[in-house]
Amino acid sequence: MNILRSGLMGLMLLAVPLAGQAGGSLQQPGNEVLLPIHKSRSLMLDRPASRVSVANPAIADVLVLQDKELYLVGKSLGHTNLMVWDLNDQLMDVMDIEVSHDLQGLKERLYRFLPSEPIQVHTSQGQLVVSGEVSDLDKLNSAYELARGYVVAAEGGVARSEVLNMMSVGGGQQVMLEVTVAEVARDTARNWDSAFALSEPSGNWSFDLLRDSVPALAINGTNTLVGSFASADTVFNVALDLAKTRGLARVLAEPRITAISGQSAEFLSGGEFPVPVPNEDGIAVEFKEFGVGLKFTPVVLNSGKINLNLNVAVSEPSIANTTEIPIFGNITALNKRSASTTVELGDGQTIGIAGLLSEDVRESVSQLPFAGDIPVLGNLFTSRDYIKGETELVIMVTPRLVRPFDRQHVTLPTDGFIEPTDMEFYLLGKMSERSREQQDSSANMAQQTPANTGTNPAVSGEGGMEQTYGQSL
């Protein structure tokens, strides 16, 4: 009898978890209900229900329409669960409810406006996940804005909603950017400097009239004429300096850099110099870049055009503009030419993104009042400076779609150099030179390459990069 009683109690204990799992485990597939926000759906039950309960009514609401039909409404983004009891007040079902964005509506809009783009949308804890590989950046931005509209419509709930952008621009096109920075600066300067000293003693008095320093001008002048006149009581010394200078500066930089479509690339050929900067702890050192710098982001559009967002800068230290600051010492200045813009070009097309034509004239006159106004003789009491500068600057860019090339068939600028021996260096004065065979090979390659065709004879098969590579020395 005791054995029978123990067996019945064991069966009752086993029956308890079975009754609690009447609706299935929470991890059981198909036990989750997806409900778009601000939309409703009906849910049919297997048998009549007596009562229902929602864990979080702020996320979803439920209404019993009939004994076997429930009416669900999504109120805000989030997760909750629904419990249903039958007529015997036994738990008959437990369902997870996820209130998400209107994914079906967003999919329909994406297919309507971007039919050829394989874009996928998902939801995750209130986040609207957009993924896929699109053809260009414009379509990526359009898809993001469409998804953003659904996120804005879902705002106001207990969960924060954002767009998680996992889209990428496909194609894998590589773009090489050729930049040409050309500048010519001319300047002309004319100088007329004068200095004199007049000494006239009179009795117990002596009068001196000085303009600048005659000895200093005689020493530091470029083309100086020094004269003097002396009598019994009068001494007159004079120095005249006449100079005319002309200067010409030419700057040419042609940086090149390659990046995949949609990715940024940076290039710097130059260096950095230290600049002392005060801070809370005293004086710190910051390093400023100079040289030829290039930053750009290419995007190959579906139409074949190349969208370029670029920043070009060419700079060098200027000793003439160096400033001396107490404590810090000499601060080096920079001569800089830079341009930042966004343009759209076809493969191999060239456009000027910046240009400058500048002309400045500066004149200065310093003279002794009244005496400097005397015709001809007034030049002895006058100093004049005339400076004229002209600058012409142009910056051009050319994007090209490129592919890898065969390294074995390409000549680099550093190939073929022969170092001199000790005897050749000390006795014959020879330096490093390029072998004749290497020069002939580079010349033949340049002659075989048609101008502006975008092809390279060093490339075989599917690989290749437009135009010749490197520079011939």
The per-residue pLDDT for range 280-325, each reduced to its tens digit, is: 877 788 888 888 889 999 988 877 789 999 999 888 888 777 777 7
Between CA 359 and CA 354 the distance in angstroms is 17
pLDDT digits (tens, 9 = 90+) for 414-467: 777 788 888 888 888 888 876 665 555 555 554 554 443 333 333 333 333 344
Cβ neighbours, 10 Å, residue 365: 11
Between CA 125 and CA 160 the distance in angstroms is 9
pTM of the model: 0.51
Cβ neighbours, 10 Å, residue 187: 15
Q: Higher confidence at residue 470 or residue 156?
A: 156
Residue 126 scores a pLDDT above 60:
yes
Cβ neighbours, 10 Å, residue 20: 11
Structure confidence at residue 297 (pLDDT): 92
Q: Determine contact, residues 283/276, Cβ cutoff 8 Å.
A: yes
Structure confidence at residue 116 (pLDDT): 82
